[in-house]
Chains A and B, each alone.
Chain A
Amino acid sequence: MWKDDKTDLEIKILNLKFNHMPDIFIANKKEPDELKRESKRKLIKEEEHSVMLHGKEVLDNTAKHIHSSKLLDDISGKKTTSKKIEKTKISNPPGLLSAFRVNPRGLHYNEQDEDEEILLLLRRHFITNTPWVFLSIILLISPFLIAFVFNLTDISFIFSISSSSLLIYISFYYLIVFAYMFINFITWYYNVSLITNKKLVDICFQDVIYHDVSMTKLNLIESVNYVQSGFFGSFFGFGNVYAETAGKSLRFDFISIPKPERVVNILEDLIGGSSDAE
Chain B
Amino acid sequence: MQSEQIILYPFQNPFVFIKIGIVILIFFYVVFSFIIFKRVKIMNNVVEQSQSSFILVLISLINIIFAILLFLTAIVIL
Which residues of A have CB within 8 Å of B47?
107-110, 190, 192, 194, 203
A203–B46 CA distance with the chains assembled, in angstroms:
8
Answer whether residue A145 sits at the interface, using C-beta atoms and an 8 A cutoff.
no
Size range of the chain A interface in the assembly? 35 or more
**B70 near A190 (CB under 8 angstroms)?**
no
* Residues of chain B lying within 8 A (CB to CB) of residue A93: 49-52
What is the interface residue range for chain B against chain A?
20 to 34
Min Cβ gap B19→A in Å is 7
Tell whether A95 pairs with B52 under 8 Å between CB atoms, given A168-B73, A169-B22: yes
Which A residues between 188 and 202 are near B, CB-CB below 8 angstroms?
189-190, 192, 194
CB-CB < 8 A to B49: which residues of A? Answer: 93-94, 106-107
- Please list the residues of chain A having a beta carbon within 8 angstroms of any beta carbon in chain B: 90, 93-96, 105-110, 159, 164-165, 167-169, 171-172, 175-176, 178-179, 182-183, 186, 189-190, 192, 194, 203, 205, 208-209, 211, 213
29 A-B residue pairs with CB within 8 Å: A93-B49, A93-B50, A93-B52, A96-B52, A107-B49, A107-B50, A108-B48, A109-B46, A110-B45, A110-B46, A110-B47, A159-B15, A165-B78, A168-B73, A168-B74, A168-B78, A171-B73, A172-B26, A172-B74, A179-B63, A182-B59, A183-B36, A189-B56, A190-B43, A194-B47, A203-B47, A208-B35, A209-B39, A211-B46
